[in-house]
Structure 1
Amino acid sequence: MQDIQAARRRPKKMAARLTAGLCLGGLLVGAGAVAMVQPKQAAPDIRLLVSDVMRVPLVAVQAPQQQTQEDSFFSETRIQSGDNLSTIFERLGVSEDGLMQFITVNKDARSAYKLYPGRTVQAAVGADGAMQWLRYIHTPGAQDGLDHVTEYLEIIKTGDREFLAREVAEKTESQTHVGFGTINSSLFAATDAAGIPDGVTLQMAEVLGGKIDFVRDLRQGDSFRVIYETRYHEGRPAGTGRVLAVEFVNKGEKAEAFWFEPEGGSGGYYDSNGKSLKGAFLRNAIPFTRISSTFGMRKHPIHNRWRQHSGIDFAAPTGTPIQATSDGVVESIGRKGGYGNTIVLRHPNNITTLYAHQSRFAKGLKKGDRVSQGQVIGYVGSTGWSTGPHLHYEFRVSNKPVDPLGVKMPEAVVLDDKQREQFVSLVNPLRNQLERMAMLQDENPDLLKLAAR
């Protein structure tokens, strides 16, 4: 989890990036390119684009015409660590009398004090230097029912030292992108080199977590292809959308996942045979962390005696989220002797999973609640018989502990004939794109090296 947190914090490389455009339904989408690399035998609907990504804290861009007067200057800046409203306003060229006082006392403007690094603040300033409006885009990737929206605070100048504040939610547009890469050190390093957002990387690991252990199983030379959505608001990126398809070759074995929402049912990920991946158990209750103790006999770190270790231990900092490895029902939650704060989940086929030594449980979670695979149920701690923060995880069949890394997981649910027909018609174009990316990757192994320089 430390690795994953570091990956979230680090900036993307300010070097040449490799981005692929994807043509679906006749529409080619992709990043703005400054150069094109022609593959040896490229498929007609995939182009490889190499673009220079330059990030600056303040840029002047075209303003939204409907809300900005003709003689005005529109600018935006990204919030940096350590910023406050004064430093942000200074970069934007905003020095409006009464604005700070208005934000302080007006309850509709309170979100201006919750500044998140990486988020965007925009302003329109007239030719006379007076502010016309100010926007703080605090939630670029929100969801309102079935709609994806961008939520922002807008402050409009209505008169001398007079302002109006309101929260706005506007629909975002979706574009489809593709990316591919090869593992040299870690999954995050490979996706970063390919210009793939961290949010997509997290989804890839979550979707295929039941088939691949992304901590223990990765090997140099493993490869991946992914098709994903990116949300846009007024032409600017507004968050990561859903992974539509992903293919990962690990130790020569191919794992695939496709998003599919059957008619009259809920959406989920399926393999190429139409088998739901959600029915399987995740191998890890905490993604991207190391196993500090395996299943089997060991010398107990506290009692100093050899005894059976009935689960596996995941080392992680206190407060790291713990996720349910499969759908289930909370059988027990609370203090449990040497296990400390513990949750036991009940699953079909007489299977239970146990999560011990937690610092705290997810808010509101109680006995009898249903949980979904990947749902956060608690947080890593060191309660009970523990020498440091970690998660002790057990997988039990008929109340008998078995090795979570070695047990054969239950089979997942398969689509019926009608649903499978829908699935095939949707998935075949995605599979074709993944296959073409694989060909392109095989024929041009140095392209990612070029992009990383």
Structure 2
Amino acid sequence: MKYGFTAAGELLWSRLAQQIERHPKRVTALVAALLLGGGGGAFAVASIAPDAADLPVRQITEQIPTPSLQAQVEALDVHQFNLFRSDTVRATDSIDTLMQRLGLSDPTAAAFLRNDPLVRISLLGRTGRQVSAEATDDHRLLRLTARWAPDDSNTFQRLVFEKTPQGRYTSRIETGQLSASSKLAGGTIRSSLFAATDDAGIPDQVATQLAEIFSGDIDFHRSLRKDDRFSVVYETLEADGEPLRTGRVLSAEFINAGKTYQAMWFQEPGQKGGYYTLDGNSLRRAFLTSPVEFSRVTSGFKMRFHPILQTWRAHLGTDYAAPVGTAVRSVGDGVVDFAGVQNGYGNVVIVKHRNNQTTVYAHLSRISVVRGQTISQGQNLGAVGATGWATGPHLHFEFRVNGVHQDPMTIARQSESIPVSTAARPAFNRLASAMRIQLSAAASVQQASAD
């Protein structure tokens, strides 16, 4: 067999030989492919580039002037930056004390603030309103903003006091839209519900809502136990990105004496919203367990030694110790059957409910309803006092069925609830599924904080 190169292969070999002969120490790349036999062939060669060490080197020297130090100092003097600070208005604040806490030192702006009617109305004598200031680096006021929510709507008011480019001060009141976000929290009972929510950084408004939501199942005056636990998901309403007030509790779980209670907010289309168990039963009962919010029960439905008559006799109601003036509410819907003074009851309101059920609210310092008035559950009837046969301020509360005294706690727990309608059940189940996940996350947050 005879071997040989094709014409193309011979040309390649010739060129490579020339490169090797001229630069025996420099061959940057060589790739060749030859196909032997039959007079045919193919090849591929990488490009050959010069060695970088053989390239000429040229050195260039150039003087660079150094900027004047004085010019740099002058540039820093011209540069300005703004300062921002926030605080909360106090009832005792004056313009001077508020400006001092905000780190402002601007007599001219202070004079304008004192004489501005919108500032005086919106800030002075107010409590808890959030205020923020924008100032120059030498603490002169550029802009002052205060925010507050005047009611339970989804809007807030914004006071803006600012300095114009022309050096004048202007003020105005604007209306903004609150934005809602959810917050998860949880706690463990050591002594009281409020102490537990304080430890967990939960607002008092949320604690109050928790007690209201589960009031048909848990007596928060007498039934709380140490190591009871709760988890809650609630709204925070924000103005310009800052929390302004607490909104509604969206879902909650309370473990009382080893038994778990769950609730979530749900509103059927065209109907009033309310709280339901996660399997769809309404938590709104015909009667609340308590006619006052968070007061200590001093005497329950039992035999007791009468402090005035000095004898043992049946106590046919429940006494709630509370300061004079504490609001008293109706435990259920009904009509005022009596409102006035009655023997040892002092100032008393009697409300007649359906099915021959009657509730009595005695020793009031003030009566806020009249006979024949229609009453809704939770509506204010008057205020705690010490009128009649009372040794101190408290509310004496009775529940009667066909004229016979009953334990109000038992009646409240036995009152009926209404389930979610069939039409709303699919939407309810979807929301309930999401709320279970959120409550589980809230419980995890509580466990992590405890660890």
TM range (shorter): 0.7 to 0.9
Residue from 49, 74, 93 that aligns with 2:84: 74
The yes-or-no answer on 1:113 pairing with 2:124 is yes
Pair 1:237 & 2:243 matched: yes
Write out aligned runs for 1:5-84 (5 A).
Answer: 72-80=82-90, 82-84=92-94
Q: CA 1:370–1:83 in structure 2 vs 1: closer, same or farther (change >3 Å)?
A: same
Write the deviation string for residues 294-334 of structure 1: whole angstroms up to 9, x where unpaired: 22333332233444322111011112222322333333333
One-letter amino acid matched to 1:143: D
Aligned identity (percent) is 39
Does structure 2 conserve the Cα–Cα contact (< 8 Å) formed by 1:359 and 1:383? yes
Give the CA deviation at 1:130. 4.4
| Matched-pair contact (CA < 8 Å) for 1:141–1:240 | no
Deviation (angstroms), 1:207: 0.8
CA RMSD, aligned part only? 3.0
1:141-152 aligned at under 5 Å gives the runs 142-144=151-153, 148-152=154-158
Among 182, 198, 204, which residue is 2:210 paired with? 204
SS at match of 1:190: helix
2:384 paired with 1:380: yes
Corresponding position: 1:391 with 2:395? yes
User: What secondary structure does 1:431 align onto?
Assistant: helix
Q: TM-score, normalised by structure 1?
A: 0.73
Q: Which blocks of at least 5 consecutive residues in structure 2 are unaligned?
A: 1-79
**Does the C-alpha gap of structure 1 residues 437 and 237 become closer, same or farther in structure 2, counting only changes over 3 Å?**
closer
**How has the CA–CA distance of structure 1 residues 308 and 179 changed in structure 2, closer, same or farther, with 3 Å as cutoff?**
same
Q: Distance in 1 between matches of 2:431 and 2:350?
A: 38
Structure 1 residues 366 and 86 mapped into 2: Cα distance closer, same or farther (>3 Å)? farther
TM-score by length of 2: 0.73
Specify the code of the residue in structure 2 equivalent to 1:380. Answer: V
1:63-116 residue CA offsets vs partner (Å, 9 max, x unmatched): xxxxxxx95433221235754332112222154447557646737742322221
Superposed CA deviations along residues 34-83 of structure 1, whole A, max 9, x for unmatched, are xxxxxxxxxxxxxxxxxxxxxxxxxxxxxxxxxxxx95433221235754
Q: How does 1:11-410 map to 2 (within 5 A)?
A: 72-80=82-90, 82-92=92-102, 93=104, 95-97=106-108, 99=110, 103=114, 106=117, 109-116=120-127, 118-126=128-136, 130-137=140-147, 139-140=148-149, 142-144=151-153, 148-157=154-163, 163-362=169-368, 365-407=369-411, 408-410=413-415
Please list every run of 5 or more consecutive structure 1 residues that lacks an aligned counterpart in the other structure.
Answer: 1-69
Is 1:108–1:167's contact at 8 Å kept on the other side of the alignment? no
CA distance in 2, matches of 1:300, 1:184: 32
1:448 maps to 2:449: yes
Amino acid at match of 2:288: L
- Identify if the C-alpha distance between structure 1 residues 76 and 398 changes in structure 2 by more than 3 Å, giving closer, same or farther: same
Larger Rg: 2
Asked whether the equivalents of residues 179 and 227 of structure 1 are also in contact (C-alpha less than 8 Å), the reply is yes
For the structure 1 residues 107 and 211, does the alpha-carbon distance in structure 2 shift closer, same or farther, using more than 3 Å as the test?
A: same
Which is strand-richer, 1 or 2? 1
The alpha carbon displacement at 1:189 in A equals: 2.9
Check the 8 A contact 1:325/1:374 in 2, yes or no. Answer: yes
CA shift, 1:165, in A, is 4.2
Q: For the residues of structure 2 that align with 1:96 and 1:324, how far apart are their CA atoms?
A: 54
- Tell me, what secondary structure is at the counterpart of 1:272? coil
> Conserved in 1, the CA contact under 8 Å of 2:216 and 2:285?
no
Q: Give the 3 Å change call, closer, same or farther, for CA 215–399 of structure 1 in structure 2.
A: same
CA distance in 2, matches of 1:158, 1:369: 57
Structure 2 Cα separation of the partners of residues 177 and 201 of structure 1 = 14
SS at match of 1:382: coil
For residues 424-452 of structure 1, give each alpha carbon's deviation from its aligned partner in whole angstroms, at most 9, with x where no partner exists: 222221123324555x47xx95x3334xx
Over 3 Å counting, the alpha-carbon distance change for 1:222 and 1:123 in structure 2 is same
> The residue matched to 2:309 in structure 1 has which SS?
coil
Q: Which residue of 1 aligns with 2:16?
A: none
Alignment partners' CA distance in 2, 1:385 and 1:161: 69
Aligned CA distance change for structure 1 residues 372 and 246 (closer, same or farther; 3 Å): farther
| Residue aligned with 2:221, SS | coil
Residue 431 (structure 1) aligned to one of 436, 443, 448: 436
Figure out how many residues of one structure are paired with residues of the other and give that number.
370
Q: CA distance change for structure 1 residues 285 and 126 in 2, over 3 Å: closer, same or farther?
A: same
**Match of residue 29 from structure 2:** none
Name the structure where helix makes up a greater proportion of residues: 2
Q: Secondary structure at the match of 2:378?
A: coil
How far, CA to CA, are the matches of 1:423 and 1:329 in structure 2? Answer: 34
Residues 292/415 of structure 1: CA separation in 2 closer, same or farther (3 Å cut): same
**1:213-244 residue CA offsets vs partner (Å, 9 max, x unmatched):** 12211112222221111111122111111111
Task: Sort the Cα spacing of 1:309 and 1:418 in 2 relative to 1 into closer, same or farther, 3 A.
Answer: same
Question: Partner of 2:433: helix, strand, or coil?
Answer: helix
Give the conservation status (yes or no) of the 8 Å contact 1:284–1:325. yes
